[in-house]
Chains A and B, each alone.
Chain A
Amino acid sequence: MRVLIVEDELDTLSEIEDCLRCYDETIEIEPCSNPLHAIKIGQSRSFDVALLDIQMPEMTGLELAECLSVMSPEMDFIFITAFNNYATEAFDLNAVDYILKPIRQERFNKALAKVRKEIAEREKAFVNPSGDISIQAFGKMVVSSGDHILKWRRQKSAEIFAYLLHQQGVPVHKEKLCEMMWPEYDLPRALTYLQTIMYQLRKNTAEIGDNRITIEYADHCYRLHLTGVRYDVDLFLEALHQADQGSATSLDALIKAEQLYTGDYFEEEGWIWAMGRQQNLAQKYLKALESIIRQEMSGENKEDALYYIQKWVALDVYKNQDSYLSWVAEHIGADVAKKLESLFFEDD
């Protein structure tokens, strides 16, 4: 744990340091007696928690907390003061605790334990900020950072996130979002809901970390911004584009695209606004699959095509299994068709 202490009275400053060491010897401590100096320190280093006196000559601890939280929004605050009349302000600043002087070690430990718990919760949610952040839209929407999968607090947050994603970086007017999400509500009410959800959503995406997924708001419009995020739909389209270039690796690119397509676009959620693109992407997938099959069949080992033919048949676009089988028998061989047929029966 990294702790910043800001207290203008030197005796108290060292007293707080002692309390911290008594709580846990391994804590990294940065003592500071001047709030203006503390801002400078805060600009260059980050801390888990700041222990702040309130009444100080240069600026109050409350003002200092506001400055510090702008610089590092994740930082926790504990106020340590002889006055009990700032506690409402402390609540407004979302301070973790408010300790009255004279400091009692037991009370102090309780406050630090609270911070430790908050840090543990943050870390649980924020496993791997520099790890692979990926968004999956094929099949079911999954947003993940390393092994951590983002849990949506509510279905609506997931849908709004997905809708912004669907817009591919184009800003969406807040009233449009309200109409889409809550057609049954009047606008003022829907806007309040939207605000609540956006607040949650921002927290949600902050969990993922590193500002790589951000929701921007300007001119009454929301816009989703992704930086260095692995998004399966983009990768799928990229691979198809690569395959279209007709190079020697185009089969590899098609196979890569095929692997990325783990289900229809938002298949599980079934959002109505996604249907158009869902069909469009499914068409592209079908074309890719057929192209793979054709290319595999023209190669040496025609049986490689079997796996893709199975998938192709499972799509059931042509509705009739016999017509697939005779097609396979004619183009690849009767033995492959037989194999395929036995696979069908196993599936049934």
Chain B
Amino acid sequence: MFGIMLVDDERHFIDELEDMIKGELPFTILGNCFNGVTALNAVRDLNPDVLITDVLMPGMSGLELARKIRNIKPDLPIILMSDNPSYAVNGYELGVSGFLLKPLAKDKVHETLNRLLCV
């Protein structure tokens, strides 16, 4: 099993992701965070194999979170999610491993995570 962390200020997106992942993909959900700052600390403590984060969040954005994570864990695969597709370009700038467009589609979530397992 691989450890995964979910970050979103809107709880229902986290619940949705959990439902899509739990029992269907070989990932254990290590923890959920509702803002970037707690997520950054949790990455140090929980040492996940993958992190999925929303982009727009109050305080620290998902992009800033991704940038900061790069300094402490340069190889941690990060997946961005947003309802705004233009953030995908920022994803490439930050070297993230995937981009999920909201509303989330289960097959896309599975495809993106499955792809990570093989890299």
Contact = CB atoms under 8 A, between A and B. Distances in A.
Contacts of A100: 89
B41 interface: no
Interface in B80-119: 85-86, 88-89, 91-92, 95, 98-99, 101, 108, 110, 112, 114-115, 117-118
Q: Contact residue range for chain B?
A: 20 to 34
A196 B86 contact: no
A88 B77 CA distance: 17
Interface stretch (A50-58, A90-98, A267-275): A90-98
Contacts of A344: none
A130 interface: no
Contact of A87 (B25, B85, B114, B118): B85
Contacts, number: 51
Contacts of B91: 87, 91
B58 interface: no
B98 A91 contact: yes
Contacts of B112: 91
B24 A85 contact: no
Interface of B: 23-26, 85-86, 88-89, 91-92, 95, 98-99, 101, 108, 110, 112, 114-115, 117-118
A193 B101 CA distance: 24
Nearest to A197: B26
Determine chain A's interface SS by DSSP, over half rule.
helix
Highest count of chain A CB atoms <10 Å: which of B24, B86, B95, B118: B118
Interface string A127-153: 000000000000000000000000001
Contact of B92 (A90, A92, A200): A90
Given A87-B89, A92-B108, A100-B89, 13 more contacts: A85-B85, A88-B101, A90-B92, A91-B91, A91-B98, A98-B92, A153-B117, A189-B24, A192-B24, A192-B110, A196-B117, A199-B114, A199-B118
Contacts of A193: 26
A114 interface: yes
20 contacts: A84-B88, A87-B85, A87-B86, A87-B89, A87-B91, A87-B99, A88-B85, A90-B88, A90-B92, A91-B91, A94-B115, A98-B88, A98-B89, A98-B92, A153-B117, A153-B118, A193-B26, A196-B26, A196-B114, A200-B118
A203 interface: yes
B114 A88 contact: no
